[in-house]
Amino acid sequence: MNGMSMDNFRGLILAVSSSVFIGSSFIIKKQGLKKAGASGPRAVIIGEIANFAAYAYAPAILVTPLGALSIIFSAVLAHFILKERLHIFGMLGCALCVVGSTTIVLHAPKERHIESVKQVWHLATEPGFLVYFWVVLAVVAVIIFQYVPRYGQTHLIVYIGICSLMGSLTVMGVKAVGIALKLSFGGVNQFKYFETWIFTIIVIFCCLLQINYLNK
């Protein structure tokens, strides 16, 4: 903690809060209570807002792994509230989530100082990332048009693959938009740049696609 910057610390707190809200929302909704049923969606929304804000302050490599904590929080609540028990592989999975998240958080780099979304755009248009971007889109397109019709109803990995691949692009987009909002609130308007709006469109597209296949 001594080597962690204040922005990283804020991002850490927001990311953990996000996991708590999102994880609890799954249990609230599953209870099926009328009052809790109305609270479940609100918990998800609050959690996602906190997660979005976390990307504005801390490196994505710190925030993203902490999303796994929502699984652990859900598992703990399911045990005590829903009386569901984890088998040995579930416990092992939770342990690996904790070890992995802790290891990455402890070794997360300090946030690079960004003065404009144009800097993020410059990094996002480097050859390496552009190749990755188009490869991901190509693979997702193949999965959607070739494998979803054949195996979508029988193999969960098909939908998980789509959401995970698009999620890697969503993280980059959310990071850019989060920085734009942070700088704009600080008095340096970033929404006058077309790059900010391109990142925003990418985030919306990726989120809608993920929500569609996540719900399946």
The domain ranges of the chain are 6-107, 117-215
Taking alpha carbons only, the member of 35, 25, 104 closest to residue 65 is: 104
Alpha carbon 44 to its chain's center:
12
**How does residue 97 score in pLDDT terms, banded at 50, 70 and 90?**
confident
Q: Is the pTM of this model over 0.95?
A: no
- In this prediction, residues 115-130 reach a mean pLDDT of 90
- Classified as helix, coil or strand, 65 is helix
Q: Considering just the CA atoms, what is the radius of gyration of the chain in Å?
A: 19
State the virtual CA torsion across 164, 166, 168, 173 in degrees, nearest 10: -150
- In this prediction, residues 80-101 reach a mean pLDDT of 79
Angstrom distance (rounded) from CA 171 to CA 195: 16
Residue 41 pLDDT greater than 60, yes or no: no
CB neighbours of 49 closer than 8 A, spacing ≥ 6? none
- In this prediction, residues 3-9 reach a mean pLDDT of 62
- Better-scored residue on pLDDT, 184 or 81: 184
